[in-house]
Amino acid sequence: MGKTVLIVDDSNTMRKIVSRALRQAGIDFSTILEAGDGQEALAVLSANDVDVVLSDINMPNMNGLEFLKAKAEDPAIKDIPVVMISTETGADIIDEAKSYGAKGAIKKPFTPELINDTLGALL
Amino acid sequence: MEYAQDIIDSTQDIFSSMIMLDVTPGESFKRSDEKLSNSISGIIGLAGNTKGMLAIHMTNQAALAVTTAFLGMDVEEIDEDVRDAIGELANMLAGSIKSILDPGGSDIKLSMPSAIYGEDYTIDCLADAQSVTVPFAFDGMGFMVELQLRKDS
């Protein structure tokens, strides 16, 4: 049975690009869910069985770091792995994201191969 | 101003890996405040110990071609998809330049992307900022990437 991924990004364009890259990477996701910010992502995670989350950092309303903190406080969803996918991949920011439970980081621009390598270790 | 080569490297990397377009850089220059016509600009503000902006200025024709290639679907007018795509290009370029200016990532903050478009408009940033603009060409079309910076001592 295929797996479910949640893409969190305020840019509709980037959500489409990530979806396309996932297909090109050859990972067998049966369902691709989307959210436009951290608040929407928390709601999607609470209502669906999600195997992995790809989340932007710089978003309105609730950014990626705030999303990680809120998710870590909810026992029902805290163990779902999250990989940050962002233009913001400075060491300080990534260390902060990992302290909140992020499992890795992918820098934009990215390639399907990079996504495959990063997610392959988690799935 | 320095950073022209960084702009070239970042722009070529983003366009080749995300849009599958080879873009050719021209000679960098200092852009004055002349009007942009029938164009769209994606803009990211920089704040912190280095302030300024990163902007990508595209003619409407170039923006439609880039968005069509970016999304893999035909786009025929400057709509929300185009504004979002050009803003996201500016976002990736700013992130790349930020990683050079601020390797740790905590000294400079990037704004959310914004897009401006119209028949005639001008863009002003910091009056005392240094700036550099690099023109690029692809398939007979062109665009510019502009960086304005002011480092606080």
User: Going from the N-terminus, what domains does chain A have, and what CATH number goes with each?
Assistant: 3-120 (3.40.50.2300)
Question: Tens digits of per-residue pLDDT, B102-151?
Answer: 888 888 999 999 999 999 999 887 778 899 999 999 999 999 999 999 98
Pairs of CB atoms within 8 A across A/B: 70
| Rounded Cα–Cα distance for residues B88 and A96 (Å) | 24
* CB within 8 Å of B144: residues ≥ 6 apart: B31, B56, B57, B133, B134, B135, B136
The pLDDT of residue A84 is: 95
CB contact under 8 A, B18 and A87: no
Show the domains of chain B with their CATH numbers.
4-25+35-151 (3.40.1550.10)
The pLDDT of residue B6 is: 96
The pLDDT of residue B104 is: 83
What average pLDDT does the structure give for chain A? 93
**Which tokens in the block code for residue B118?**
């119209």
User: Taking residues A31-41, what's their average pLDDT?
Assistant: 97
Angle at B136 between CA A13 and CA A56, to 5 degrees: 25
Residues of B in contact with A57 (CB under 8 A): none
Question: Tens digits of per-residue pLDDT, B81-103?
Answer: 999 999 999 999 999 999 999 88
Any chain A CB within 8 A of the CB of B85?
A: yes
Question: Tens digits of per-residue pLDDT, B10-30?
Answer: 999 999 999 999 999 999 999
Stretch (H or E) spanning B11 = helix B4-14
* CA–CA distances in Å: residue B36 to residues A82, A108, B30, B31, B60: 41, 28, 15, 11, 11
Residues 47-76 of chain B with CB under 8 A from chain A are 67, 70-72
Any chain A CB within 8 A of the CB of B95?
A: yes
Query: Looking at the partner chain, which of B18, B80, B95 has a beta carbon nearest the beta carbon of A17?
Result: B18
CB contact under 8 A, A87 and B110: yes
**Which tokens in the block code for residue A22?**
């996932």
- pLDDT category of residue A28 using cuts at 50, 70 and 90: confident
